[in-house]
Chains A and B, each alone.
Chain A
Amino acid sequence: MSSKPLIVRNLTKSFKRKTIIDDLSFELDKGKIYGFLGPNGAGKTTTIRMLVSLLHADKGDIIVNGYDLKKDRSNALARIGAVVENPEMYNLMSGMENLRHFARMHKPKISQERIDELVEFVELKGAINDKVKTYSLGMKQRLGIAQALLHKPNVLILDEPTNGLDPKGIRQLRAYLRTLAKDEEVTVLVSTHLLSETEMMCDEVLIIQDGKFVKQFSVGEESSDKTVKALFRATSNEELIPVLEEFGTVEQDHKYIVLSGIQQEQIPTIIATASERGVLLYEVILKDTLEDQFLELTGGESA
């Protein structure tokens, strides 16, 4: 048995002679949250659909906890939980009926206690007996997560889970995923186009473009040796500009002064220097470094 919960090797898929996924390989570790990023049309959704056997790969292997998806489909799928795109449910049935329905599709039998536990976990207890058609999008997302976790999968795959969630919902989702990764050692793969979200939610980032692997790196690590951008707001922005110009390139925003091309470690020095010269700072915001890295890696197209 392999220790890696998910291994993807030389995955290739074409539609009508157009190659969508081109020799894609990556590996995921236990108990980590991965952000799956790529510009539109990079093949994120296609990859995810192949991981859960909705699409058949032309070439390559997908190995889930040591089980080959092609040769040992049910053993491999028994270890994956997923919400692919929108969490489609049976609208005429209640949340509980939906969960029971999906629970019946797994072996060994999933107990009612497990279902209740998940309902509690995703905070749907009050509405679980209402019909799903009365649910808000956020509630449906949470129900989707609950159904994906019924069989205690080792790998949880979420395709754009923050779509249509309000900030509170996103924060909740982040908390759920953290708990899962930490307490149950579930490996989570989240495809998303919200870079700031990814940065807050994920341990590692996996970037693909044109169906090819681009880069995989830890969120915290990489940013320390890269140049970053920071936003400053001071008692007097005019006086601050000459100070900042000593450190990097300065641009004026409508409210902030944007300083780019600096190291993250320089920031305390910058703040100290500014106050020595009598310019006091209200705010310093370290700008979305992942966004910059992402744009750099994918050649400027937005996610």
Chain B
Amino acid sequence: MNSLITNELIKTWYRNRVKMFLIVMTALYLIIAFSLRFFMNENAIPTAGSFLITSQTIINGTFLLFYGVIITTSSITSEFHKGTIKQLAIRPISRVKILASKLISGFIALLALMVLYNIVIYLVSVLLFDASNAPENLLVTALTACLYKIPVYLFYLALSVIIGTLFKSTIIAVVLFFVIDSVGGMVTGLITMLEWNASYFIYPNLMLESYSDNTLINDPNMQGLFGAGESLTFSLMIILVYSLVLGAIGFFRFQRQDIA
């Protein structure tokens, strides 16, 4: 299994141009951070705390998640498009293991990027911006915010697996990602308006930050906007159930299908 994951990580490095992603993302982030710090009106410069949490929301919640979805989906779809899936499926290794190695390596790649970028985010926030009046310990805040994102990553990668195996299309995965990300709130609102219980819908349960008592992570002004689920454990269970069901369908499909 380890060697399969090694294979997948190597292919990801080449296929998804990780080097390019790292360079562009880091450069953009640094340019934005420096512009905010040095070209903005003195009074409007954000504090370290708010810069930290905004960066994390944008990078962890959108860019990395999005990239992780692409990495995982394309690790499945590109094998089909290029025909290399045949070379994998004729090895004395079960198809379940092949797909599992793709899911796990997608997760590893995403976590590695998360660790890397959050170190950058933390350092930039603390070194460039004013951290003297922070209401919370910024290091603890940065770590906690990351932890809240991990179950969300799990859900989206399970979604990637099912889309990769059922539709063999990275584009559908990308579109669905944006749909869930942007329409999810509206649908939740709609369900609530119709006085149905939105707790079992996945979207509100992905807002794990709303369970935090850290005032930076769980901004009181934002509370209730998305109609959070019932409790942290409840939301984690919902995420787990959705992920398992999606993953199981994907694995079942991959196991049974004829490769032409």
Chain A residues at the B interface, C-beta cutoff of 8 Å: 49, 52-56, 73-78, 80, 82, 84-86, 88-93, 97, 101-102, 104-107, 147
Contacts and interface: CB of A to CB of B under 8 A. Distances in A.
B8 to A, nearest CB: 10
A84 B86 CA distance: 7
B102 to A, nearest CB: 13
Given A52-B86, A88-B82, 15 more contacts: A54-B89, A55-B258, A55-B260, A56-B258, A78-B92, A88-B86, A88-B87, A90-B14, A101-B10, A104-B3, A104-B4, A105-B92, A105-B93, A106-B92, A107-B92
Interface of B: 3-4, 6-7, 10-11, 14-15, 82-84, 86-94, 256, 258-260
B92 A75 contact: yes
B10 to A, nearest CB: 7
B99 to A, nearest CB: 14
B10 A73 contact: no
A75 B94 CA distance: 11
6 contacts: A54-B90, A54-B258, A88-B86, A90-B82, A104-B3, A106-B91
Given A92-B14, A101-B11, A106-B92, A147 B83 contact: no
B83 to A, nearest CB: 4
A75 B259 CA distance: 20
Contact of B84 (A53, A76, A78, A89): A89
B91 A101 contact: no
A93 B14 contact: yes
Contact of B259 (A55, A80, A89, A92): A55
A105 B15 contact: no
Contacts of B87: 88-89, 102, 147
Nearest to B88: A105
Contact of A77 (B7, B83, B91): B91
Given A90-B11, A105-B3, A74 B259 contact: no
Most buried by A among B83, B84, B91, B94: B91
A74 B95 CA distance: 11
A267 B11 CA distance: 60
